[in-house]
Amino acid sequence: MTSSDTVISTAGLTKHYGDVRAVDGLDLHVRRGEIYAFLGRNGAGKTTTIRMLLGLVRPTSGRVTVLGTDIVPGATAVFSRVGYLVEAAAAYPDLTVRENLDLQRRLMGAGREAVGEAMDLLGLSGSADRRAGQLSLGNKQRLSLARALLHRPALLLLDEPANGLDPAGIIEVRRLLRRLADESGVTVFMSSHILAEVAHLADRIGIVHEGRLLQEFDYDELRARTGAYLDIGVSEPDRAAGLLREQLGLDRIEPTPEGGLRVFVGPDRGPEIARALIGAGLDLTRLVPVQEDLESYFMRLTGGGS
């Protein structure tokens, strides 16, 4: 990947709040035109990272580069090419949708036509003359997305972009982001907790936990990392795991928080495993085939159980 292909780059990015390490040695590389999903539990460091990318929070240490510009105090010109939505949807409540967008248009130096285009894009034309304070949570989120998009940025930084949207709205936003990436080459860096939507949308996924990047993979790698396994409830799980390794040659075995085992084989191995465990005098209480998805993989990786 050349420097011209890199839209976001961080090296050793770290942020401390007293004794708390919100972000700890984060190395990110986001390519031009891709949708990068940044996943993590609440408190994992997602929003702090996005704020440092935007220059809203100063890192304790490390380096941030966005669109080829080092993000340091005074580096503001690059943000004319960036659209963002961080945390809760925000707008001037006493101004109408149209007035909010016109104000944003003038701040960003966009043409007058940008307001109508943004409202059409986000389905807000019917609410153009409603005050922002009277909008539903979903339409407030649409308005914030319209503000982020109306100057046609090269990079979108979105913190929970589907927040407050109904299922139809989530699908609309998913299609919109996919179209912006595929047709206009816009790079999207988004945090989200709606893992099923991320699995449909993202080109690459990074999982952050306690401020550290645990894993990074593209969609094809996700399918290789997730897969079928057997969820097994058995007495003496440590002895059972050793038995399955020695007798059946199974190497992908993990303990579960519930005191069972997760054995990464297909359901066709179930009868053989059951015979081996019962034959060794172990009590078999559960043997359930499971097809893992992004959500269960995420929970397993971050210590959240099944």
Say yes or no: 209 and 294 in one domain: no
Q: What is the pTM of this model?
A: 0.76
Q: Is residue 85 part of a domain?
A: yes
**Final residue in a domain of this structure, among 223, 243, 263:** 223
Say yes or no: 7 and 118 in one domain: yes
Say yes or no: 193 and 52 in one domain: yes
CATH number of residue 266's parent domain:
3.30.70
pLDDT score of 175: 87
Q: Is residue 283 part of a domain?
A: yes
Say yes or no: 101 and 167 in one domain: yes
Say yes or no: 211 and 243 in one domain: no
**Final residue in a domain of this structure, among 203, 223, 243:** 223
The CA-CA-CA angle for residues 282, 284, 288, to 5°, reads 145
Q: Is residue 246 part of a domain?
A: yes
Say yes or no: 244 and 138 in one domain: no
* Domain enclosing residue 126, as ranges: 3-223
> Could you read off the pLDDT tens digit of each residue along the chain, which spans 306 residues?
455 689 999 999 999 999 999 999 999 999 999 999 998 888 889 999 999 999 999 999 999 999 999 999 888 899 999 999 987 667 899 999 999 999 999 999 999 999 999 999 899 999 999 999 999 888 998 999 999 999 999 999 998 888 778 888 888 888 889 999 999 899 999 987 767 667 778 899 898 999 999 888 887 776 666 678 899 999 999 999 999 999 999 988 989 888 999 998 888 999 999 999 999 999 999 999 987 777 777 777 776 544
Q: Is residue 116 part of a domain?
A: yes
**Final residue in a domain of this structure, among 223, 248, 282:** 223
Q: Is residue 76 part of a domain?
A: yes
pLDDT score of 256: 87
Question: Pick from 8, 78, 83, 102: which is nearest to 49 by CA?
Answer: 8
Say yes or no: 148 and 87 in one domain: yes
Kindly state the tokens that stand for 59: 């890192």
Question: Pick from 66, 63, 42, 46: which is nearest to 54 by CA?
Answer: 66
Say yes or no: 44 and 163 in one domain: yes
Question: Pick from 137, 54, 124: which is nearest to 90 by CA?
Answer: 137
Say yes or no: 186 and 168 in one domain: yes
Compute the half-sphere exposure of residue 198: CA atoms within 13 Å on the CB side of its CA: 27
Q: Is 130 left (phi over 0), alpha (psi -120 to 50) or beta?
A: beta
Say yes or no: 193 and 230 in one domain: no
Say yes or no: 149 and 218 in one domain: yes
pLDDT score of 58: 95
Q: Is the dihedral of CA 291, 296, 301, 305 positive or negative?
A: negative
Q: How far apart are CA 87 and CA 176, in angstroms?
A: 20
Q: Is residue 306 part of a domain?
A: no
**What total of structural domains would you count in the chain?**
2
Q: Where are the beta strands (DSSP E) in the chain?
A: 6-17, 20-31, 35-39, 61-66, 69-70, 82-85, 155-159, 187-191, 204-209, 212-218, 228-234, 253-255, 261-263, 284-291
Q: Is residue 13 part of a domain?
A: yes
Q: Is residue 78 part of a domain?
A: yes
pLDDT score of 198: 77
Instruction: Phi first, then psi: give them for residue 259, nearest 5 degrees.
Output: 90, 15
Say yes or no: 11 and 105 in one domain: yes
CATH number of residue 73's parent domain:
3.40.50.300
Task: Count CB-CB contacts under 10 A for residue 159.
Answer: 20
